[in-house]
Structures are given as structure tokens and as C-alpha cells.
């Protein structure tokens, strides 16, 4: 019988959240038998004939910074090196989530890259695997797939998120020559800023309609709007069309800061004091340098095997046809964090960027918001219409949801609830109906041996004097079972995502694991 070999796994210096401690133990246990576990790390033992298989997993560990096999050298994991691209040195006491191209943009609702990576390892994905994120947002899962060394495809309905996601991927996967040309080109565009005088000429160059220009003028001081439009036009002339989006993405990361919007406010409250000037060129230049240096450092750490990763603009309720047109079915794994039930208005929170970058006209913002799953916008007429269809829709949803909705309607009936609360039952029924349609499609596109991981949290709504708990994870799980998955649900206790501090938020997230029956 083959002998045993000891492997030492070293922990990161940051303090782990309780759920991370569980995932860390699971990562180690998937490689070998755990012998000791203390503050600095774990000792595991593997059969000598399994060391080769173990080695390929050791490099890809998420929650360990280094490993050593037997008396061999101490080797950093790829994750340690990637996190170092943000920290400079990985002695930071906080886990980094802005490493590589993740820091490109602060898209609201981003989730922890470490979780995506951990799940790829747990699914034992290989270089030929395809991972799908049907709510790809700013592309966290797709970027992690590139780091991990597998293929990825995302679907997303917010055009800003699609632009951000694809820009991050392009920066990581383009040739060295292209990246160098982009870097030099965009800095030249920044250096030229301040030479153009007329907002109207720039707006007409960029095909901005009058309503949209008026909107922009209400949110940016003239001197700042001039620089924004000038940067966009200059980049269009100087960079090739394939790099314009990336330049726009860089601009987008500072749009809030230079607008009249209160930067600390998620929605669209105005600053108390008008901002008349801002060092736009210096801000852009420093963003570019920061981004390029992290990107260059991360690119050195990628596997040689080229991977394909793309984020498609589309609606996940039509997932099957979006993926079929891209000829990317079936996929081996699904990792996603879907929108919460009536939680975060993704379009509203990115509206200034959407309009300033020409991704949406000002009058079209409302339509875009309404097309999102989980949105809170519904007119009185639409609500009446939705209410008349509610019982029929509830027939095809799990009984717990029907029970909850009926209780909510009953509580609102004899109260003086405002329109937001009265909208809730119809919006929730629509949300779970939409989720059912996405889950049905994910069942079709997922390989029979694959796993889908959905990370979602509960929230709550006030009815009468009482808070009612909206058990989204459990209900999504039950819907998943009804469309042909077996499920298990893990709690990720202290996981915090942006927006969870809102009144209706609850600081809890759950990981729903779904396997086709």
C-alpha cells in the first residue's frame, strides 16, 4: 500500500468570517484527511499516489495563502498572488475583493470573488469547462473563471454592467500589445482634455438627443460635463472601436463622484453644495494607472491555456435562446447571485452612467428599470392588471408563496398602507414567477452532471404592525425542486452585500446548490 504524505496549508492573515471557516475546512477536506487545524493553518495527509491530483487543486485553493508538500518549499497559492495585486503585499488584515480587474468599477450588488472561485474548485471545473452566470452583473464570476482557467458566459440586462463585465475580461485576455496601445492611447486622450469649448458640438458628435442633454446638464456642472463629453469623443477618435467601452467604463467609475448626486447616497439625492469643478483629468489618469498596474500583475498569474469568457446583453427569462444563439449549451456549472425580491434598483443606481455613456436615453431609463427582475416600479394600472392575474400565477408557484401573499394582502386591506406597500404582493408574485422561468431554463441549459449555485438572501416587508419575513432562498429552492432539481441550502451567515443595510435587508445570505434530478 502506498505511504502517506503530509501537506501543510497556511491561512491568510485576515480574520475569516464563520462561513469562510466552514468553506476553508471543506476545501482542505476535499484534498486529504485533516489532521490538525489551528490559527496559522491546517495539516492534511494524502495517499502518496494521490499527490499529483492534489497538487493541481492546491494551486487553486481559495481560502489558503500558501501550501507545502512534505518537507518541500512553501508555495503561494494563485489566490494569494492575485490578492497581492491589490494589496501590494498580502499582509493585509482584510480580505481583498478589488484585486486584478475586480476594482474596475463599484457596481452595486457585486459579490465576493472568493465565493465564485471556491465554487469552481468545489465543482472540480477543468480548462474545458463552461461556467454560466445568468445574472452576471459586473462580471465577477466571469473574471474569476479567467483566473481559475475555465470558460465562462454571462447574461445580464443592465447595459452598464455588460460594458463593465466585458471590459474587465478584455483587459485580462487581450494581447500584451493591445493592452499597451490602449494604455498609451487612453492617457493621450486624457492629456488632451480641456481644449474643446462647446458642449453642444460634443453632444452632437456623440448623437445625444435634447432630452438626454438637458438631463445631463441637470446633473453635472458645465465645466465637468464638457470634460466628460470631451473624453468620450476623443476616445472615439483616438482608440479603436473595440476599446471605446473600456475607456467609457473607466469614466463611469468616477461619474458619481463628479456629479451633483450625493456620493454617499445609493439613489439619486442631490448634494447640498453644488460641485462646480472637479479634477476629471487627474482622476481619470490615476484610475487608468491603478487599473493597468493591477491588470498587468494579474495577467502574469493566468494559466497559459486560453479561455473564452464573454458577457452577453440579454434577459435571463429567455436564457435558452440567448445561449443557443451563442452556441454555448450545455454548461457545466452555474454560479450566480440573482437580484433580491424588490431590493436593489440596479438601473436607478447606475442611471447617471447609463445616460452619460450613451447606453440609454434619459426617457428610456424607466423602461429599462421595469424590464429588470425584482424591480419596484409598477403603475396603478399595471398593479390592477397584475392583481387580476395573481391567483392564476400563484397556482404554479409553491404553496408557501401563496400563503405569504394572501397574508400580506389581508394585512394591507384594513390598514392605511401607502402605494409602495400595496404594490408589494403583485411585485413579489411577479418576482417569483420570473425566477421560476429562469430556473426552468437553467435546468435546460445545465449539463446533467452539473451543479447550479445560487447565492441569495431573504428580506422583509412591513405589514400593519408586523415585519413579515420573505424567505426568498427557501422559496427559490422549492421552485427549483418543482422544475427538476434536487437542492441543498447552506447559510453563509455573516456575508454582507451592498444594500443589505437597507431597512428591508437582513444580514443573511444562503447558498442554494441545485443538481438536475
Ligand X SMILES: C[S@@+](CC[C@H](N)C(=O)[O-])C[C@H]1O[C@@H](n2cnc3c(N)ncnc32)[C@H](O)[C@@H]1O
Q: Where along the sequence are the contacts to ligand X (CB under 6 A)?
A: 107, 109-111, 135, 137-138, 140, 155-158, 161, 315-317, 337-339, 346, 372-373
Pairing assessment for the beta strands 41-47 and 130-133 based on DSSP bridges: unpaired
- Least separation, in Å, of the C-beta of 479 and ligand X? 16
In the complex with ligand X, which residue's Cβ is closer, 284 or 347? Answer: 347
In the complex with ligand X, which residue's Cβ is closer, 156 or 248? Answer: 156
- Least separation, in Å, of the C-beta of 347 and ligand X? 7
- The size of the chain, in residues, is 517
Q: Which residue is nearest to ligand X (CB)?
A: 137
In the complex with ligand X, which residue's Cβ is closer, 43 or 320? Answer: 320
Residue with cell string 469649448:
197
- Least separation, in Å, of the C-beta of 478 and ligand X? 21
- Least separation, in Å, of the C-beta of 147 and ligand X? 14
In the complex with ligand X, which residue's Cβ is closer, 28 or 153? Answer: 153
The DSSP code sequence of 244-267 is HHHHHHHHHTTTTTTSSB-TT-SS
- Least separation, in Å, of the C-beta of 42 and ligand X? 29
- Establish whether the linkage from the previous residue to 330 is cis, with ω within 30° of 0: yes
In the complex with ligand X, which residue's Cβ is closer, 228 or 373? Answer: 373
- Least separation, in Å, of the C-beta of 337 and ligand X? 4
Give 444's contacts (C-beta < 8 A, 6+ positions apart). 320, 329
Please tell me the distance from the alpha carbon of residue 378 to that of residue 234, in angstroms, as a whole number: 40
Buried b (16+ CB within 10 A) or exposed e, 151-180: bbbbbbbbbbbbbbbbbbbbbbbbeeeebe
Please tell me the distance from the alpha carbon of residue 22 to that of residue 490, in angstroms, as a whole number: 10
Among 54, 36, 34, CA closest to 45 = 34
Residue spans of alpha helices (H) in 396-512: 399-413, 419-445, 472-482
Output the CA torsion 31→33→35→37 (10° steps): 40
Give 233's contacts (C-beta < 8 A, 6+ positions apart). 196, 202, 205, 206
In the complex with ligand X, which residue's Cβ is closer, 7 or 365? Answer: 365
In the complex with ligand X, which residue's Cβ is closer, 76 or 314? Answer: 314
In the complex with ligand X, which residue's Cβ is closer, 76 or 154? Answer: 154
- Least separation, in Å, of the C-beta of 91 and ligand X? 26
In the complex with ligand X, which residue's Cβ is closer, 190 or 354? Answer: 354
In the complex with ligand X, which residue's Cβ is closer, 32 or 109? Answer: 109
Residue spans of alpha helices (H) in 6-139: 18-29, 51-59, 78-87, 113-122
Please tell me the distance from the alpha carbon of residue 400 to that of residue 405, in angstroms, as a whole number: 9
- Least separation, in Å, of the C-beta of 106 and ligand X? 10
Among 176, 121, 179, CA closest to 150 = 121
- Least separation, in Å, of the C-beta of 269 and ligand X? 21
The DSSP secondary-structure symbol of 443 reads H
Please tell me the distance from the alpha carbon of residue 97 to that of residue 113, in angstroms, as a whole number: 6
- Least separation, in Å, of the C-beta of 340 and ligand X? 7
- Least separation, in Å, of the C-beta of 223 and ligand X? 32
First to last CA, the chain: 37
In the complex with ligand X, which residue's Cβ is closer, 158 or 342? Answer: 158
At 185, list the grid cell. Answer: 492611447
Give 289's contacts (C-beta < 8 A, 6+ positions apart). none
- Neighbouring CB atoms inside 10 A of 264's CB total 8
Amino acid at each position: 500500500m502506498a505511504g502517506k504524505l503530509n501537506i501543510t496549508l497556511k491561512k491568510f492573515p485576515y480574520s475569516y468570517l464563520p462561513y469562510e471557516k466552514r468553506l476553508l475546512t471543506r476545501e482542505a477536506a476535499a484534498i486529504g484527511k485533516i489532521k490538525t487545524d489551528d490559527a496559522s493553518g491546517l495539516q492534511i495527509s494524502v495517499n502518496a499516489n494521490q499527490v499529483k491530483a492534489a497538487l493541481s487543486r492546491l494551486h487553486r485553493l481559495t481560502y489558503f495563502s500558501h501550501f507545502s508538500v512534505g518537507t518541500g518549499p512553501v508555495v503561494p497559492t494563485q489566490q494569494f498572488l492575485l490578492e497581492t495585486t491589490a494589496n501590494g503585499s498580502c499582509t493585509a488584515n482584510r480580505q481583498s475583493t478589488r484585486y486584478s480587474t475586480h476594482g474596475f468599477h463599484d457596481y452595486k450588488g457585486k459579490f465576493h470573488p472568493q465565493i465564485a472561485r471556491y465554487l469552481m474548485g468545489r465543482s472540480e471545473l477543468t480548462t474545458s469547462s463552461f461556467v454560466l452566470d445568468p445574472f452576471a452583473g459586473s462580471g465577477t464570476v466571469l473574471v474569476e473563471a479567467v483566473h481559475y482557467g475555465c470558460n465562462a458566459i454571462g447574461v445580464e440586462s443592465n447595459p452598464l454592467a455588460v460594458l463593465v463585465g466585458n471590459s474587465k475580461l478584455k483587459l485580462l485576455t487581450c494581447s500584451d500589445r493591445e493592452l499597451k496601445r490602449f494604455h498609451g492611447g487612453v492617457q493621450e486622450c486624457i492629456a488632451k482634455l480641456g481644449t474643446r469649448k462647446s458642449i453642444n458640438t460634443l453632444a452632437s458628435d456623440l448623437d445625444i438627443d435634447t432630452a438626454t442633454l438637458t438631463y445631463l446638464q441637470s446633473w453635472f456642472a458645465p465645466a465637468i460635463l464638457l470634460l466628460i463629453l470631451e473624453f468620450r469623443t476623443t476616445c472615439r477618435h483616438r482608440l479603436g472601436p473595440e476599446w471605446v467601452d473600456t475607456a467609457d467604463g473607466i469614466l463611469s467609475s468616477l461619474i458619481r463622484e463628479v456629479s451633483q448626486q450625493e456620493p454617499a447616497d445609493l439613489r439619486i439625492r442631490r448634494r447640498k453644495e453644488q460641485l462646480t469643478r472637479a479634477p476629471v483629468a487627474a482622476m481619470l489618469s490615476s484610475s487608468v494607472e491603478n487599473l493597468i498596474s493591477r491588470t498587468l500583475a494579474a495577467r502574469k498569474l493566468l494559466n497559459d491555456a486560453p479561455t473564452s469568457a464573454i458577457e452577453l446583453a440579454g434577459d435571463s427569462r429567455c436564457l435558452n435562446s440567448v445561449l443557443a444563439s451563442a452556441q454555448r449549451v450545455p454548461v457545466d456549472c452555474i454560479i450566480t447571485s440573482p437580484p433580491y425580491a424588490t431590493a436593489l434598483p440596479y438601473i436607478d443606481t447606475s442611471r447617471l452612467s447609463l445616460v452619460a455613456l450613451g447606453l440609454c436615453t434619459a426617457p428610456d431609463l424607466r423602461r429599462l428599470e421595469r424590464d429588470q427582475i425584482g424591480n419596484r416600479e409598477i403603475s396603478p394600472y399595471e398593479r390592477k392588471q397584475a392583481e387580476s392575474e395573481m391567483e392564476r400565477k400563484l397556482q404554479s408557484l409553491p404553496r408557501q408563496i401563496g400563503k405569504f401573499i394572501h397574508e400580506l394582502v389581508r394585512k394591507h386591506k384594513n390598514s392605511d398602507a401607502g402605494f409602495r406597500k400595496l404594490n408589494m404582493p403583485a411585485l413579489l408574485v411577479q418576482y417569483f414567477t420570473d425566477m421560476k422561468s429562469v430556473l426552468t431554463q437553467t435546468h435546460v441549459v445545465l449539463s446533467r452532471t452539473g451543479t447550479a449555485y445560487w447565492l441569495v438572501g431573504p428580506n422583509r416587508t412591513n405589514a400593519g404592525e408586523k415585519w413579515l419575513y420573505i424567505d426568498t432562498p427557501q422559496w427559490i429552492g422549492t421552485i427549483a425542486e418543482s422544475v427538476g432539481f434536487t437542492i441543498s441550502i447552506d447559510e453563509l451567515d455573516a456575508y454582507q452585500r451592498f444594500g443589505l443595510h437597507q431597512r428591508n435587508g437582513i444580514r443573511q445570505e444562503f447558498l442554494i446548490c441545485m443538481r438536475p434530478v
